Structure 1
Amino acid sequence: MAQLPFTEIPVTTDDSFEFEYAILDPSLFETPCEISGVIKFGRFFMPSLYGIIFLTGLLGNLLVIVTYICYVKLKTITDIYMMNLAIADMIFLCTLPFWAVDGYTDWIFGPFMCKIMNGLYTINFYSCMLTLACVSVNRYNFIVQSTKMLKSKTKMVHSKLVCTGIWVLAIILTLPEFILSEAYTGIPDRIICTMVYPPNSDIIKVGVHVTQMVVGFLIPFVTMIICYTFIAKTLLHAKGRQKSKSLKIIIAVVIVFIICELPFNIVLLMQTLEIMSEESMSCEYRVNVDYAIIVTEGIAYVHCCLNPILYVFLGVKFRNNFLKILKDAGCISQKQLAKYLKTEYETSQQKSGISETTSLHPL
């Protein structure tokens, strides 16, 4: 899962790498700092990392979407959430090539695409994070409450309404990006795509930052911690060997979320406190924050690549359907597929000591 484009970047004054620092707020351009190292680092780091994330994330999420469309057919509530998560990640990833080009050169796509890319970026960011929260609640209902949901038409309709509500809320929260995003020449020879706030609008900037931290991190994080804590307690009291793998999945999901999302939100909090502070921060502080933003934001983007692995690929159902895709593509024979499915069935029978309501794998 990923974050908003960083709001503070360095700006060039010529091609000889004599740089001035300028926060992307025209009212603050009078605060210059030497930051050529940040520019050079960003021009290498951002396109390289964004390209890797785009290719690997696109492959993983596209595989999830193809599997659900062609084989699974969205038969359960979990299927709906996983499909929604993959679509959000996919659209989000498709904005990364634009930001990779922007990081290497300038914004060359015009003012209209600036608004569209910023908007799409943020919509799918919010949608992804809120969907992760819903997935944890869904798993809590299935495992802790032992809710029978696999063929419940009422709950299927409810989950579709929840996903629709997530997208509507994400669009509403993204209105500032659509309205305030601009592409302009803030410094000679440097075209910038960013949100341009009206003069004396610190409250709006703080509101945008706080909304991102609360909706895009705090709410999903707290929801996951609460739900997965109860799930872990339930699994610890369950019998059978399958619970061990389920607990490992839970731990991996939480750890990955913290590692990917927490660092950037700490830096975002630092920025928010700087906006609220009446004292001007030193150049050294701003340079360090710029480095931190570039690195932690890239780490946050990695979440999009890991979501398919953590939430889909580890499941037995997905592995079976993936083998069917390989068979249809001619990579394996029908005999090999049947042999694997038979082995998988026999293994599941041997591990039947743990009931379906205490296993994460159907999820």
Structure 2
Amino acid sequence: MINMTDTLATWLSTVTPTDELETNSGSGSGYEDYDDTMCDKSMVRRFRTFYEPPLYLLIVVLGFAGNLLVLWIYKHFKNRLKTMTDVYLLNLALADLFFLCTLPLWAVDAMKGWYFGTFLCKTTSALYKINLFSSMFLLTCISVDRYISIVETTKAQNSKELRLAWSKVVCLGVWLLSIILSIPEFLFARSKEDAEGNRYCTMVYWDNENNKTKILVLALQICMGFCIPLVIMIYCYSVIIKTLLKAKNFEKHKALRVILAVVTVFILSQLPYNSMLVVEVTQAANTTITNCAEAQSFDIATQVMKSIAYMHSCLNPFLYAFIGVRFRKDLKRLYKKYGCTTSQSGKYGAPPRPSIMSDTDSTMAFSL
């Protein structure tokens, strides 16, 4: 990864002045770079200025369109919330929308610096972490519910009402746990000003010398926000695949494509950034990066990987909702209801079909 970004850093140095010292804002990530007082980071901020705002704008537009469409469907078809996954999908859309609201502030920070004060710095950073953890936990819950619906079909049918009631309790627990895990942002995020008068929102820990608090915070994010959800998802979907391969009269290939897409997108979007966080933990513990050019390349690579991770918020509606038969049929019904077509075959008042995650019909769980 360092070799890939060295070329980019070299190119940026040819178009960016490097005669001033600057501390890079973490855009909420809270990392502190190698020897900020001795290493010129103006090229990193220059890169952020041109890279992050347009990308964040794209993520916000696509994310709001997809997640608001999910909420719109749930608003018009209130009887949809009859399975655990439907409840999780609704909360996932809300979590993604809350997160998307923070991106415009980080885009402004990338262009002009952080001029919104310490309170908003703490609030925005905490909101980002709350929705990071809640999204990962909800995706985990969806994989577990799919596991129960496909692998434990009889158990799922017999406990449908109980599981639906528990889904609301689980969602409440997810939000509470996410808030607890975001406490470090409330404690350590603050608006700072460097020697050149540039303000930025970053994490300032109490023990900057030994970095124990920083290491703990980053390790907690990596474990709770990626490793544990990934292990659970891989286990659940692996068992589901084995079950589907043994099933008869079922469109296995479509279901397997959906599972492959879900797992692949999750890994490709989250693994690179979390790998950079692991390097950051190592750096905080052992100071493995001692060269200014390497530090600059690492900062740029982290920004790129972080933005890729952010894209998951605009992909969730398409991965977990719109690939389902029910959502697509509901979209057609709404399309017809609002006069876009004269066809009456899918009237708004027509009886609802089973949910895409119906506990009583496992063949619908991964149907395209």
**Same fold, judged at TM 0.5 (above):** yes
Correspondence for 2:115: 108
Correspondence for 1:80: 87
Whole-angstrom distance in 2 between the partners of 1:191 and 1:299: 25
Out of 292, 297, 300, which is 1:291 matched to? 300
Whether 1:18 aligns to 2:19 is yes
Whole-angstrom distance in 1 between the partners of 2:182 and 2:282: 22
Judging changes above 3 Å, is the alpha-carbon distance between structure 1 residues 273 and 23 closer, same or farther for their aligned structure 2 residues?
farther
Correspondence for 2:44: 38
CA contact (8 A) 1:76 1:151 kept: no
Judging changes above 3 Å, is the alpha-carbon distance between structure 1 residues 168 and 115 closer, same or farther for their aligned structure 2 residues?
same
Whole-angstrom distance in 1 between the partners of 2:257 and 2:243: 14
Amino acid across the alignment from 2:132 = F
Amino acid across the alignment from 1:333 = T
Out of 163, 179, 183, which is 2:187 matched to? 179
Matches within 5 A, 1:1-363: 18-22=19-23, 31-73=37-79, 74-146=81-153, 147-149=155-157, 152-199=160-207, 200=209, 202-277=211-286, 281-335=290-344, 337=346, 356-361=361-366
State the secondary structure of the residue aligned to 1:130.
helix
Correspondence for 1:12: none
Q: Deviations over 1:195-218 (max 9, x none)?
A: 111133511100110011001100
Unaligned stretches of 5+ in structure 2?
Answer: 1-15, 26-30, 355-359
TM-score, length of structure 2 as denominator length: 0.85
Judging changes above 3 Å, is the alpha-carbon distance between structure 1 residues 319 and 32 closer, same or farther for their aligned structure 2 residues?
same
Unaligned stretches of 5+ in structure 1?
Answer: 1-14, 349-354
CA contact (8 A) 1:267 1:293 kept: yes
State the secondary structure of the residue aligned to 1:135.
helix
Amino acid across the alignment from 1:112 = F
CA contact (8 A) 1:22 1:32 kept: no
Correspondence for 2:13: none
Q: Which moved more, 1:91-100 or 1:24-33?
A: 24-33
State the secondary structure of the residue aligned to 2:23.
strand
State the secondary structure of the residue aligned to 1:148.
helix
Whole-angstrom distance in 2 between the partners of 1:17 and 1:336: 65
Q: Displacement, 1:292? A: 0.8
Judging changes above 3 Å, is the alpha-carbon distance between structure 1 residues 234 and 182 closer, same or farther for their aligned structure 2 residues?
same
TM-score, length of structure 1 as denominator length: 0.86
Q: Which moved more, 1:29-38 or 1:104-113?
A: 29-38
Q: Which moved more, 1:22-31 or 1:263-272?
A: 22-31
CA contact (8 A) 1:26 1:186 kept: no
CA contact (8 A) 1:81 1:131 kept: yes
Q: Deviations over 1:66-89 (max 9, x none)?
A: 111221431211110110111111
CA contact (8 A) 1:232 1:247 kept: yes
CA contact (8 A) 1:82 1:311 kept: yes
Correspondence for 2:8: none
Whole-angstrom distance in 1 between the partners of 2:176 and 2:306: 25
Q: Displacement, 1:181? A: 1.0
Whole-angstrom distance in 2 between the partners of 1:357 and 1:26: 48
CA contact (8 A) 1:312 1:318 kept: yes
